[in-house]
Structure 1
Amino acid sequence: MSFQDIVVYLDAGANTVGRVRTAADLATRYRARLLGVDISTKAAREGDSNDAALAIQQRFETSLQGMNVNFTYRKASADARTPEELFSHSADLLVATQTNPADSHLSNSAVPEAVLLGSGVPMLVLPAGWTGEKSIGNNIVVAWNISREATRAVHDALPLLRTAQCVYLFVFAPNYSDDNEDVQDMKAHLERHGVKVILAGWRDRGETDMTSALFANLDREDADLIVCGAYSHSPFSEAVFGGVTKILLSNISMPVFMSH
């Protein structure tokens, strides 16, 4: 299993350069085809952003010249709303950026959240201001809670997990123990896939919430990527992960690999 087709979303905003740089790095690493999808809005072709919107294809193609990457450019309709209209279905990975209030009017509002929740394809969500100069996937924290979404994320992320220097399996539960059967089962499963796993569980004693515990772990483990499930309106997931999807899509300062 590997990434064969990667979609990177393009717009006239300041985050596109770093986003393309990271997507190209992944496409090179996994010898994948890179599809750049222009998701500019009608507003992007007005006023000061017009020149940047008109130059999106040229800048995308120029940035990839000389790299050993098979790439293609597509332009989505300004009225596109469905994952299909945004070219997400024929892909193994989507690359987007958190919504940035400063230039959110320049790109389709369905990206990232609606496409992530509706496409069935995992998404790498980069933080606003990401330059793409840092490599990702050396030290990965997997947020694991035995849910369908978390299970999907772990398996979708296997190409990254296999090549990581270390993968920290983070579990937040009142009865957490390294010896718990379900924890050991997942650790052994990942190790059979060639993943180097360290258990990084947190026993929930009611003193903190899951998100705070996860962020504390990120600092402790010097992580550069989070892998987790993307949760929508399930009462179970809201009780377990407490709105962490919204937080990770808007407030985290490192890349997040999410599946729904």
Structure 2
Amino acid sequence: MSYKDILVFLDGSTDNDARMEFAFSLARAHGARLTGVDVDAAAAFEGEWAERAKSLAETFHAGANRSDVRVRYKIADRDAAGWKDFYAHYADLLIATQPNQEAFGRVLSG
């Protein structure tokens, strides 16, 4: 099976880099376009997560350049209740975050 469009949810958590690298490797292997969606909640831009959350787009694009993968970067609508519906049904494969107590309140719930 081949994927044309892969979507990865991105956030300021410490496991985000591993999720991104996995998404880049899958996109490269399938020749797919990768869409990264920033799902940080407003609270992610405060405290220890702030630097990672603020540099998410730059980190994602740098990884795409290293991986030679076509990408799009989106920011989830933090005010929309069904924000996942805007993105998930357009992808052949979705790479999502895992439940993480440290992320509670910092990542949008859906």
- The answer, yes or no, to whether TM exceeds 0.5 is yes
Superposition deviation, residue 15 in structure 1: 1.2
The alignment yields a C-alpha RMSD, in angstroms, of 1.4
Report the counterpart of residue 81 of structure 1 in structure 2: 81
Within-5 A mapping of 1:166-177: none
Amino acid corresponding to residue 24 of structure 1 in structure 2? F
Report the counterpart of residue 30 of structure 1 in structure 2: 30
Structure of larger gyration radius: 1
Report the counterpart of residue 66 of structure 1 in structure 2: 66
Higher relative contact order (Cα pairs below 8 Å, separated by 6+ residues)? 2
Superposition deviation, residue 97 in structure 1: 2.5
Amino acid corresponding to residue 17 of structure 1 in structure 2? D
SS of aligned partner of 2:105: helix
Amino acid corresponding to residue 85 of structure 2 in structure 1? E
The TM-score, its normalising length taken from structure 1, stands at 0.40
Within-5 A mapping of 1:1-260: 1-82=1-82, 83-85=84-86, 87-110=87-110
The TM-score, its normalising length taken from structure 2, stands at 0.90
Superposition deviation, residue 105 in structure 1: 2.2
Superposition deviation, residue 60 in structure 1: 0.8
SS of aligned partner of 1:102: helix
Amino acid corresponding to residue 69 of structure 1 in structure 2? V
Q: Distance in 2 between matches of 1:80 and 1:6?
A: 22
Q: Distance in 2 between matches of 1:103 and 1:15?
A: 10
Show structure 2 runs of 5+ residues with no match. none
Q: Distance in 2 between matches of 1:12 and 1:66?
A: 20
Query: Which has the larger share of helix?
Result: 2
Q: Deviations over 1:74-99 (max 9, x none)?
A: 111222332323x1121101001211
Identical aligned residues as a percent? 35
SS of aligned partner of 2:8: strand
Q: Deviations over 1:27-46 (max 9, x none)?
A: 01111000000001011112
Amino acid corresponding to residue 25 of structure 2 in structure 1? D
Paired positions, count: 109
Amino acid corresponding to residue 89 of structure 2 in structure 1? H
Q: Deviations over 1:62-81 (max 9, x none)?
A: 12213221111111122233
